[in-house]
Amino acid sequence: MSAEVSSRVRTRPRLTGRRVGGLGITVLTWVVVFLFFFPVLWMIFTSFKTEQAAAQFPPSFITHLSFDRYATVFQRGMGLYLANSAALSILSTVAVMALAIPAAYGLSVRRVGRWQDLLFFFISTKFMPVAASIIPVFLLLRVIGALDNLWALGVLYVGMNLPLAIWMMRSFFAEVPYAVVEAAQIDGASYSRELWRVSLPIVAPGAAAAALICFIFAWNEYFLVNLLTAVVARTTPPFLGSFVDGRGQFLAVLSAASTIAVLPVIIAGWVAQKRLVRGLAMGAVK
């Protein structure tokens, strides 16, 4: 089974009636796609309007467009939050991968005893609601003075993404032909050389996809950062809400800030989309 849409060829009878029906279905498909994508499209479009135009009803489709709202967003200090988001997402992803790559190798190629139990232990932590641990974590961070601290948040993000990364990497390592590993062994390679120099290069595209997915989840995370940070370590998601202003018009500037916030992840997701499904299905679907 392949995740690649184009890899499957199905021959269909070429009858004129079917072709017309096919055109109808294609048009229907594109209409549905447009409707689903519309909220994103509308957000981007609104971000280029003036506040007055954004608040018009019925909505204005032809209006003066400019980058002014983007300037406003940065004047309000979005730079700091984006920097925090980037630092947190990148560092926690690096740490997750540094832990997950060896662990997944030890669970799929060079196997530790009771590897199945361990694998299911890891995935079960993903299913544990954050409600199970948030109260002691909050109290502990408060006592040791680590509230509003990016490093503390980073440790929690590592715990959050670790199971997913391990499961994804396991499913990629499982596809490395064992003969390759054996050949390296016969050539006298050490176990760690086998892992880093022989197996990892083979699964590098998968590892990149796993890292991207961890990055996406860290970048989008709201609950922990909203609760555990205030000023210094605040990231983008809770900052977006600050544009909502009961007194004035804010739709255009909110749309501009949201567009900036979602863009890195949308691009990352588009790049990783072929392997996204496997990560989302915990490696159970290829």
Partner 1 sequence: MTAVAASDLAETGTGPTINESRMERSERSFARKIVIPAFAVAIIVTQIPFLATIYYSFQNWDLARPEARSFAWFHNYAAVVTNGAFLPALLNTVVIVGSSVIVSLVLGLLLAVLLDRKFPGRAVARTLLITPFLVMPAASALIWKWSLLDANVGMINWAFGLVGIPPVAWNTDFPGMTVVFVLTWQYTPFMMLILLAGLQSQSGEMLEAAQVDGAGPIRIFRTMTLPHLRTYAELAILLGTVLMVQVFDPVNIMTGGAGHSKTLSYLLYERAFIGQQVGEAAAYGVVTVIVTIAVATVALRTLFRVFTEEGGGGR
Q: Considering the complex, what minimum distance in angstroms separates the CB of residue 10 from partner 1?
A: 5
Query: Is residue 77 at the binding interface for partner 1, with CB under 8 A as the rule?
Result: no
Answer yes or no whether residue 276 interacts with partner 1 by CB under 8 A: yes
Residue 52 touches partner 1, criterion: CB under 8 A: no
Our CB check for partner 1 shows the closer of 29 and 66 to be 29
What's the closest the beta carbon of residue 216 comes to partner 1, in angstroms? 7
> Rounded to the nearest whole angstrom, what is the least distance from the CB of residue 21 to partner 1 in the complex?
10
Binding of partner 1 by 123 (CB under 8 A): yes
Which residue stretch of 65-73, 86-94, 143-151, 212-220 sits at the interface with partner 1 (rule: CB under 8 A)?
Answer: 212-220
Which of residues 82, 109, 210, 214 is near partner 1 by CB under 8 A?
A: 109
Closest CA to 283 of 9, 71, 69, 3: 3
Region of 65-73, 76-84, 137-145, 146-154 interacting with partner 1 (CB under 8 A):
137-145
Q: Which stretch binds partner 1 (CB under 8 A): 70-78, 86-94, 143-151, 187-195?
A: 187-195
Residue 139 makes contact with partner 1 by CB under 8 A:
yes
Tell me: does residue 46 bind partner 1 (CB under 8 A): yes
Closest distance between partner 1 and the C-beta of residue 66, in Å? Answer: 18
- In the complex, minimum distance from the CB of residue 75 to partner 1, in angstroms, rounded to a whole number: 19
Give 82-85's long-range contacts (Cβ < 8 A, gap of 24+).
82/236, 82/260, 82/261, 84/150, 84/233, 84/234, 84/235, 84/236, 85/219, 85/235, 85/236, 85/237
CA gap 238, 221 in Å, rounded? 9
Cα angle: 259, vertex 260, 262; to 5 degrees = 65
121 binds partner 1 (CB under 8 A): yes
Q: Does 30 bind partner 1 (CB under 8 A)?
A: yes
Tell me: does residue 158 bind partner 1 (CB under 8 A).
yes
For residues 67 and 117, which CB has a smaller minimum distance to partner 1 in the complex?
117
Which tokens hold the place of 205? 């595209």
Residues 215-254: x/- map of binding to partner 1 (CB under 8 A)?
A: -x--xx-xx--xx--------xxx-xx-xx-----xx--x
Residue from the set 39, 145, 188, 248 that interacts with partner 1 by CB under 8 A: 39
Q: How far is the CB of 67 from partner 1 (least distance, A)?
A: 19
Between 23 and 232, name the residue whose CB sits nearer to partner 1.
23
Please, what is the minimum distance in Å from the beta carbon of residue 241 to partner 1? 6
